[in-house]
Chains A and B, each alone.
Chain A
Amino acid sequence: MSLLLYFIIVPLGGAFLLPIISRLRESLSDWVGNAITALLLYCSVYGVITASGKTVTYFVGGWRPIADIPVGINLVMDGLSGLMLLIVNIVALLVTLYSVNYMARYTDKGKYYTLFLLMVAGLNGVILSGDLFNLFVFLEITAIASYALVAFGIEDEELEASFKYQVLGGTASALILLGIAVFYQTTGTLNLADASRVIAGIGHTPTVLFAGVLFMAGFCLKAALIPFHAWLPDAHPAAPAPISAMLSGVVIKVLGVYPLCRLFFNVYGITPLIQDIFMVLGVVSIILGVFLALSQWDFKRLLAYHSISQIGYVVLGIGLGTPLGILGGLFHLINHSVFKSLLFLNAGSVVYATDTRELKELGGLQRKMPVTGATSQVASFSIAGLPPFNGFWSKLIIIVACVQAGQMLFAVLAVIGSILTLLSFLKVQRYVFFDALKEKWKNVREVPFLMCVSMIVFALLCIGMGLLLLPQISAVTLKPAADVLYTGLEYATKVLGG
């Protein structure tokens, strides 16, 4: 099915056309940007429904495998890729919708949409690519676009944050490429499905494991798990709000968590040692991330630390390796995309209206900005895990899975992390939206219509995503994704057939 190719070609083509189109008329770039993300969302919904949990492989240029050994590049969409595509493109559409008004604060929207679409092309490419080197190339496309987007305002702080991000991101890329080189030398293939067969044959030799260590370090840097997190609290707040939403919402997951899962579950085959590493990294991130968040007074910086903590839940759930744990981890991954993007957009709206991110300077905005206030309350309750919002269900599943797997300590720590998250967001709500209205915010007004629409849709998703657990809906979304990881090495057979 050549539909898979469109996920990469359409945004890439759009990115190259936009600089010309925006020359003609600035407002055209809004239309084109939104049309492309809408088209991508349509394609991903269509793709997920038609594939209905099966694995779809597309051989680029018609180079089909010879005697089950792949000779060309292949794109693969299985349950996990489908789920990731869906969430990436939903967030991308709502974020471009929000950008129409928000990015009017900055100059040159054409360049903004160009970089944005390059980032989306890279993200879709990482999700779909069936071999390691293409994964690396798309990962670099996303990374370079996001380095530039973080510094889009080119003020002092943004440049500083982006430089830090670039140095650490560059180190991560070098580690990943070195890993790929070692991996290729040992297995003689870069195709994930083929490599998975080769590794099943030769076992986990020291060189294979050495490549694994390099991958682990590189992708954990991209995912910003503690102790690899230093760049995230600078880079995510410095970016314009829609980009913060993309970075925290989907980029760290697609560049970090997704390749880790793909490699260690589908190619290496999960072992208790790798599971332990996942779980320990996850729990350390949950607890330290939330403690670091508690002491923050900058709205967006606080949210950035919570991203580290919430990614910890995802990795903890997936690391448990039980069907329930993986399901919970993936469910939390998509839930976090939704509520963390919404929170960053809320922070963006507050900045749009007041020009400050300092919690102590704000206060009493609930009356003045009812939509921003109400949606941020939905998002705060979701991230804190209060029922019936989506975050509650996924955290519940992860904690139940921890107890089932006999990891009582991890379950307790996950609950503590959740309580501290609630505390931290009560602080945000009190200082920004409740409290007494300060004199200088007397003339603050609600943000423009399109920004409200985007936030309201996110809020509805937060409320409604618990429905994904219903058996009928879960059967085409969550269940196939969790099965891909749980059945692990069957990946090779599904992709190459035979």
Chain B
Amino acid sequence: MIVFILAVLLFLVGLYGILVKRNIIKLAIGLIIMEYAVNLFFVLAGYREGGTAPILDGDLAPGTVFVDPLPQALVLTAIVIGLGTTALLVSFAVKIYEKYDTFDIRKIRKLHG
């Protein structure tokens, strides 16, 4: 149980970063921390105490405990998606720095309302 609480705490750390930080690079880092906390949570959800790798072969004793393979497959996909979003986000941060000469979101304010 404690690991789940820690994963959620990590998620909240990321959320704190997004809500409080003013530097766009730090915002990106907050988002990444949040994504990884979710991935961690998901993998932990599939973990079984004393389970083996979920591979079917002939000489398995009946009643063997498997680790749930589905979350692992899903997290792998989620990590790849995370890579895509992170790359896009960081490249935008660089572009914004070229245009505005700052990483501070208080100074990046051409949009009104």
CB–CB B95/A140 < 8 A: no
Provide the B1-45 mask, 1 if CB < 8 A to any CB of A, else 0: 000000000010011001000001001100100110011011001
Chain B residues lying within 8 Å of A167, measured Cβ to Cβ, are 18, 27-28, 31, 89
How many Å lie between the Cα of A233 and that of B27 in the bound state?
20
Grouping DSSP codes into helix (H, G, I), strand (E, B) and loop, the B interface class, with mixed when no group exceeds half, is helix
**Given A133-B74, A170-B31, A173-B81: 19 more A-B contacts, CB < 8 Å:** A140-B84, A140-B85, A144-B84, A154-B95, A156-B99, A156-B100, A157-B110, A163-B92, A163-B96, A167-B31, A170-B89, A174-B14, A174-B35, A177-B38, A177-B39, A177-B78, A178-B11, A180-B74, A185-B45
9 contacts between A and B (CB under 8 A): A140-B85, A144-B88, A151-B92, A160-B108, A167-B89, A177-B38, A177-B42, A185-B45, A234-B111
Contact residues in A for B39 (Cβ distance below 8 Å): 177
Q: A137 near B: Cβ within 8 Å? A: yes
Q: Interface size class for chain B?
A: 35 or more
Is B77 part of the contact surface with A, judged by Cβ < 8 Å? Answer: yes
What is the CB-to-nearest-CB distance from B58 to chain A, in angstroms, rounded to a whole number?
21
Query: Contact check: which of A163, A173, A238, A296 meets B113 at CB < 8 Å?
Result: A296
Within the assembled complex, what's the spacing in Å between the Cα atoms of A180 and B42?
A: 9
Task: Given A144-B84, A144-B85, A171-B31, decide whether A159 and B99 contact each other with a Cβ distance below 8 A.
Answer: yes
Across-interface contacts of B78 in A (CB, < 8 A): 136, 177
User: Is B65 in contact with chain A by the CB < 8 A criterion?
Assistant: no
**Cβ-based interface call for A336 (8 A):** no
Contact B89 A163 (CB under 8 A): yes
B96 touches A170 (CB 8 A): no
Beta-carbon contacts under 8 Å, A291-329 to B = 292, 296, 301
Q: Select which of A174, A185, A301 is within 8 A of B34 by beta carbon.
A: A174
The prevalent SS among residues of A at the interface is helix
Query: Could you tell me the distance between the alpha carbons of A80 and B78 in the complex, rounded to whole angstroms?
Result: 28
Evaluate whether A171 and B111 lie within 8 angstroms (CB atoms) in the complex, with A163-B93, A166-B92 already known: no
| Shortest Cβ-Cβ A-B pairs, 4 listed | A181-B42, A185-B45, A174-B34, A170-B31
Judging by beta carbons under 8 Å apart, are A171 and B34 in contact?
Answer: yes
Contacts of B70 in A (CB 8 A): 184, 190
Q: How far is the CA of A155 from the CA of B71 in the complex (A)?
A: 40
A162 contacts across to B, CB distance below 8 A: 92
Give the distance to chain A from B12, nearest Cβ to Cβ, in Å.
11
| A147 interfacial by beta-carbon distance below 8 Å | yes
Which partner residue on chain A sits nearest B32 by CB separation? A170
Bound Cα distance A153, B108 (Å):
17
The residues of B with any CB-CB pair to A shorter than 8 Å are: 11, 14-15, 18, 24, 27-28, 31, 34-35, 38-39, 41-42, 45, 70-71, 74, 77-78, 81, 84-85, 88-89, 92-93, 95-96, 99-100, 108-111, 113
- Flag if B31 contacts A160 (CB, 8 Å): no
A195 interface hit (Cβ, 8 Å): no
Complexed CA–CA distance, A199 and B74 (Å): 22
Whether a CB of chain B sits under 8 angstroms from the CB of A281 is no
> B77 contacts which chain A residues (CB < 8 A)?
133, 137
How far apart sit A301 and B71, CA to CA, in the bound complex (Å)? 41
Given contacts A177-B78, A233-B113, contact A170 B35 (CB under 8 A): yes
Report whether A137 and B81 are in contact in the complex, using a CB–CB cutoff of 8 Å.
Answer: yes
Which residues from chain B contact A184 at a C-beta distance below 8 Å? Answer: 42, 45, 70-71
Whether the pair A181, B85 counts as a contact (CB closer than 8 A) is no
Which one of B71, B85, B89, B111 lies within 8 Å of A157 (CB-CB)? B111
Per-residue 0/1 for A223-256: is the Cβ within 8 Å of any B Cβ (1 yes, 0 no)?
0000000000110001000000000000000000
User: Is A148 close to B, CB under 8 A?
Assistant: yes
For B96, what are the chain A residues with a Cβ–Cβ distance below 8 Å? 159-160, 163
In the complex, the chain B residue whose C-beta lies closest to that of A133 is B74
